A and B are shown apart, each in its own frame.
Chain A
Amino acid sequence: MSTDDNQRTPLESALRGLAPVAPRLDRDALMFAAGRASASRRRWAWPALAGLFALISLGLGVRLATISPVGQPGMPTPPTNAPAVPKDLPKDDESPGLRMGDLARTLDNGELPDAHYPHAAVLGAAKPPFQPMLERDLDMPPGGLDDLSQRLLATPNP
């Protein structure tokens, strides 16, 4: 009653010598069925993946078409009472000296020139006394911008 061939009893060896009848299953048909099952599984994977991506694309398209970006969280919206942009904007060939003069006057008054810089009207709600900060950023002594503006105003335009 052992598992090794050399330790089998005579009866076990005689029984083991009897060969089971030949299998009735069709080996070729079985191999063909196994191969076909394998191929059908592979055919299923790619269409499923393509369908998944198509559904994702469709969903994203619908979302893009139906949801407006205005009013979305995190998106800045312009104030409804913002002033219209003036039509007499400065021309590109206007002399830089004039603009520097405007800047000097602005620094003297602590305001932005609304006429030449229409966006200042939008920013008007936040008009800080920025001269000290600007002087600090430019590494100038206090009152340095005043001196600069005086010198610029004294310089004649070319």
Chain B
Amino acid sequence: MMGPQRLGYWIDRHAAALELFARQWCAAPEDVVQEAFLKLSRQQPEPPHVAAWLYRVVRNAAISAGRSARRREHHELKATERVSWFVEDAASRLDAVAVTEMLERLPAETREIIVAHLWGGLTFEQIAAMTGTSTATAHRRYAAGMEELRTRLK
């Protein structure tokens, strides 16, 4: 059973990036992330790679929640207001809304790799294990996605 201090550490470290990761598939990422942390608190023993474990659980739950929501509220989702995935930062040379839109245009299998690697800090080996592909495939998709972003942001 994970103690409160350790659980709090993982929440503070990964909650925001996990919500960003889950937002790719579902409209209520906070619910999915909360369930993942509750599940983590019940793990005995603690997973050897907590971050990779969290991303895998959140991914599965978010995909499932997204499917259920699409079946239930097909028309409402289409009308959902578009929100930025990132904090607006005047010091940054990138526009948060533009980056959000470009990420949304990427293929899902490419976008999830970029988010998990850049903001989640997962290695390509961990991403490959999570997505059920080879490390080379994960790396190739990441490179292709970054090239596409670079082209669009010019």
Identify the A interface with B (CB < 8 A).
1, 3, 9, 11-12, 14-27, 29-31, 33-35, 37-38, 41
Bound complex: CA of A26 vs CA of B83, how far in Å?
20
Q: Is B19's CB under 8 angstroms from A23's CB?
A: yes
Segment of B69-77, B104-112, B145-153 in the binding face:
B145-153
B153 vs chain A, min Cβ distance (A):
7
Q: Is A30's CB under 8 angstroms from B146's CB?
A: no
List CB contacts (< 8 Å) of B71-121 with chain A.
Answer: 83-87, 89, 92-94, 96, 99, 117-119
Q: A3-B117, A3-B124, A27-B8 are in contact. Are A22 and B94 (CB under 8 A)?
A: no
Q: Kindly state the interface size class of chain B when it binds its partner.
A: 35 or more
CB closest residue in chain A, given B121: A3
Query: B36-69 toward A: CB 8 Å interface, digit per residue (1/0)?
Result: 0110011000000000000000000000000000
Contacts of A20 in B (CB 8 A): 16-17, 19-20, 85-87, 119
- Within 8 Å by CB of B142, from A1, A29, A34, A38, lies A1
Bound complex: CA of A25 vs CA of B12, how far in Å?
11
A-B contact pairs, 14 of them (CB 8 A): A11-B146, A11-B153, A14-B94, A17-B89, A18-B86, A20-B19, A20-B119, A21-B16, A21-B19, A23-B19, A25-B15, A31-B4, A34-B41, A35-B4
Is the contact region of chain A dominated by helix, strand, or loop, or is it mixed? helix
A69 vs chain B, min Cβ distance (A):
47
Bound complex: CA of A3 vs CA of B18, how far in Å?
19
Q: Is B8's CB under 8 angstroms from A31's CB?
A: yes
Bound complex: CA of A20 vs CA of B114, how far in Å?
13
- Within 8 Å by CB of B118, from A16, A23, A31, A37, lies A16
A101 vs chain B, min Cβ distance (A):
82
Q: A25-B33, A31-B4 are in contact. Are A14 and B93 (CB under 8 A)?
A: yes
Bound complex: CA of A16 vs CA of B118, how far in Å?
6
Q: Is A38's CB under 8 angstroms from B117's CB?
A: no
B142 vs chain A, min Cβ distance (A):
6
Bound complex: CA of A41 vs CA of B34, how far in Å?
19
